[in-house]
Amino acid sequence: MRLVNTPYDDVFRTLLNDCSVLILPVINEMFGEHYIGKEKIVFSINEHFLNSQDGNETERITDTSFTVIGTEVKKYHWECQSSPDSSMLVRFFEYDTQIALDEGKIEGNMLSVTFPHSAALFLRHHESTPDKLKTEIITPGGSVRYIFL
């Protein structure tokens, strides 16, 4: 299955790339950050290839992924959605896992990955539109909840 970009995706990506100065105030509002506008924004690749168990590769394209370089370095991933759908949680997890793997580090026998701060911008709001999306990752060593705004 290949996901196709929508006009919304293309407009959203262009808007963020062409008006990147507006990104920091939005991050401050969404994530409670305190960026002052002098931080550097570096956009990441949007195309990722996921390997399936059957050996096939599926191309996935994120709406936008970028890093803010200031006193700290933080990764962000945003998706623009016309309305919520049942596949969003799976797609967010797939995208964010791939974003984390892209810059993962292997030292000895340990892989270290950092997941991005993720959010969905809904163009339409309904009673069923969630404020947050959550994924719980359960491992033999414990569990963690990963929250997407």
Contact by Cβ (8 Å): 118, 92 = yes
Contact by Cβ (8 Å): 74, 82 = no
Strands in the chain per DSSP E: 40-43, 47-51, 57-61, 64-69, 73-81, 105-107, 110-112, 117-122, 133-139, 142-148
Residue 61, pLDDT above cutoff 80? no
pLDDT at 6: 65
pLDDT at 1: 41
pTM for the complete prediction?
0.82
pLDDT at 12: 74
Highest mean pLDDT among 13-17, 54-58, 89-93, 134-138: 134-138
